[in-house]
Amino acid sequence: MKHVELLTAKQVERVHDASLWVLENVGILAHHPPAREIFKAHGCRVEADGLVKFPPEVVAKYLRVCPTSFTFRGRDPQYDRTIPDCGPVVVTGSSAPNVVDPATGVERRATSTDIANIAHLINELKGFDIFSISTLADDAPPGQFSLSRFYPALKNCLKPVRSNTPNMDDLRQVIRLGELIAGGADAYRERPIINHHYCPMVSPLTMDVDSTEAVMYLTERGLPVYTTVVPNAGLTSPMTLMGTLIVGNAEFLAITVFQQMVKEGTPIIYASLPTVADMRTGAYAPGAIETGMLCMAQAQLGHFYNVPTGGYIGLTNAHSNDAQSGYETGMNTLGAVLAGATLLNMGGLFSSLMAFDFGKAVVDDEIAIMNKRVVRGMEFNEDNLALDVIAQVGPGGDFMKSKHTKSLMKTTAVFPKVADRGMRAQWEAAGRPDAQSRARAVARGILSQPNAAVWAPELDAQIRAEFPGLVAGEATWKEDETTA
């Protein structure tokens, strides 16, 4: 597929040069002392206050050793996904504090049981490739904040699981969980099935302590970790798309160079969540079209650097599964895939990452499948020109009866589960169900079935023995049919 480009090749080079200028002259403020040491030891100038200045040749040197792909691994290897080749890879949105209760429709704090149910749903929805743990777990026992998220997620999903941890203790616990699942530390190093993600770059041009430490720790050990840069025009970056692109790109180059300095050849992703703040109120607007545009331009930069790109694209500010939710997720993700982005963190969240909704996840699955159809493309080849069938049916004939139609009718087009293609009378007879109620019915159909992805009782017993007091992590779908 020919990619859509918002910038010319010359403009892309100018953005690169401008980013180098920022890194050399403005610099990055690194708060984590060991990170400053790494920068200093590998050719950067580090000033007394922790400001790191990057000579362009140092950036160039470490960009050269950067791999061109990144692999996500799941409990079942058939769900492993490497980008850009398997792209677009579709990921759920993550770490929302709340969930829209499936029984009452009221938003509340999310629990580990919600995570188990969501994991089951994402495991079954074909549009999703990776389960980024969608919510927090309000019922987490003391000292098990992250375990209470990763345990129900991994237990109920064979696809790659992705998320973050707030501190080193949690990170080590989660890796231990991975080792138990893999059958030992060596086996885990062979196939690390927890895919870590952090945002160590805090716009503008700053590196934090906790996430930087986690990224260093994982990179040193060769465990999969990637980062996202998050500039917000008008607040943490200039009020131009170009200025925001450059701030985000400088931050991406800084963290990428850092990871290569820690360990050369570490796979990375150029991931971002760029926004333009809504200056009427200062509101955060990840569903705005400018987010999609910035991701499109960033995809061009990714092609320039020969690294996979994407990010949190397809989020929405909407609070229900309404038209806004659909057009914000639909338009932005379509733009991103047309530009060649191969990672879309898009699924299941309302209110700018605040709440997970089961119906929204099902609609986003459908949007993901549509986007993947676009990327599959027109499938140009001589057979597909179908000249013999055109001649055989002839003017005024119909293709419905042709064997050619029958042989291709299940693969040429997407069959949506949510979109209604019946006639108005049928829709009215069915009680005028809207997209949300149709989507909820799909979720209900999946979650009322047993989850075959759950691991063996022996492994479960072993894990529970290692972490006493652990949450149950069972997918149990409870829904009041009268409110369904």
Partner 1 sequence: MGNEAMHEQLKKSIVDQDEDAVLEAVNKALAEGMDPREVIDKGLLPGLNVIGEQFECEDIFLPELMQAALAFQSAMTVLEPKIKEAGGAEQKKGTIVIGTVKGDLHSIGKNILKLLFETSGFEVHDLGIDVDLFKFIDKANEVNADIIAISALLTTTLIGQRDVIDALKDQGTRDKYKVIVGGGATTKEWADTIGADGWSGSAYDAVVLATSLVS
Q: Which residues bind partner 1 (CB under 8 A)?
A: 396, 398, 400-403, 405-406, 409-410, 422-426
Taking only Cα atoms into account, the Rg of the chain, rounded to an integer number of angstroms, comes to 23
CB of 411 to partner 1, least distance (A): 12
CB of 446 to partner 1, least distance (A): 18
CB of 96 to partner 1, least distance (A): 34
Number of Cβ within 10 Å of residue 167's Cβ equals 13
Q: Which is nearer to partner 1, 45 or 404 (CB)?
A: 404
CB of 403 to partner 1, least distance (A): 8
Q: Which is nearer to partner 1, 82 or 405 (CB)?
A: 405
Q: Is the peptide bond before 88 cis (omega within 30 degrees of 0)?
A: yes
Please give the Cα distance from 117 to 137 (Å, whole number): 12
CB of 408 to partner 1, least distance (A): 10
CB of 389 to partner 1, least distance (A): 13
CB of 404 to partner 1, least distance (A): 10
Q: Which is nearer to partner 1, 283 or 409 (CB)?
A: 409
CB of 418 to partner 1, least distance (A): 15
Q: Which is nearer to partner 1, 172 or 406 (CB)?
A: 406
Please give the Cα distance from 403 to 13 (Å, whole number): 51
Q: Which is nearer to partner 1, 323 or 429 (CB)?
A: 429
Produce one character per residue of 424-442: b if its CB has 16 or more CB atoms within 10 Å, e if not: eeeeeeeeeeebbebbbeb
Q: Which is nearer to partner 1, 304 or 427 (CB)?
A: 427
DSSP calls for 98-151: EEE-TTT--EEE--HHHHHHHHHHHHH-TT--BEE--B--TTPPTT-TTHHHHH
Sheet arrangement for strand 28-30: 45-46, 51-53, 28-30, 206-207, 201-202
Contact 182, 209 (CB under 8 A): no
Which tokens sit at 177?
A: 């969980």
Q: Which is nearer to partner 1, 379 or 428 (CB)?
A: 428
Alpha carbon 425 to chain centroid, angstroms: 39
Which tokens sit at 248?
A: 């985000």
Q: Which is nearer to partner 1, 377 or 422 (CB)?
A: 422
Q: Which is nearer to partner 1, 185 or 409 (CB)?
A: 409
CB of 449 to partner 1, least distance (A): 18
CB of 189 to partner 1, least distance (A): 47
CB of 321 to partner 1, least distance (A): 24
CB of 433 to partner 1, least distance (A): 16
Q: Which is nearer to partner 1, 57 or 398 (CB)?
A: 398
CA-based angle 329:231:17, to the nearest 5?
115
Which tokens sit at 124?
A: 């079954």
Q: Is the peptide bond before 204 cis (omega within 30 degrees of 0)?
A: yes
Task: Establish how many alpha carbons lie within 13 A of residue 97's alpha carbon, considering only the half-sphere containing its beta carbon.
Answer: 5
Contact 109, 97 (CB under 8 A): yes
Please give the Cα distance from 23 to 29 (Å, whole number): 10
Q: Is the peptide bond before 84 cis (omega within 30 degrees of 0)?
A: yes
- The residue type at 215: V
Q: Which is nearer to partner 1, 189 or 406 (CB)?
A: 406
Q: Which is nearer to partner 1, 426 or 462 (CB)?
A: 426
Which tokens sit at 251?
A: 């931050």
Beta bridge partners of 28: 52
Which tokens sit at 155?
A: 């237990």
How would you class 404 by CB atoms within 10 Å of its CB: exposed for 0-12, middle for 13-18, buried for 19 or more?
middle
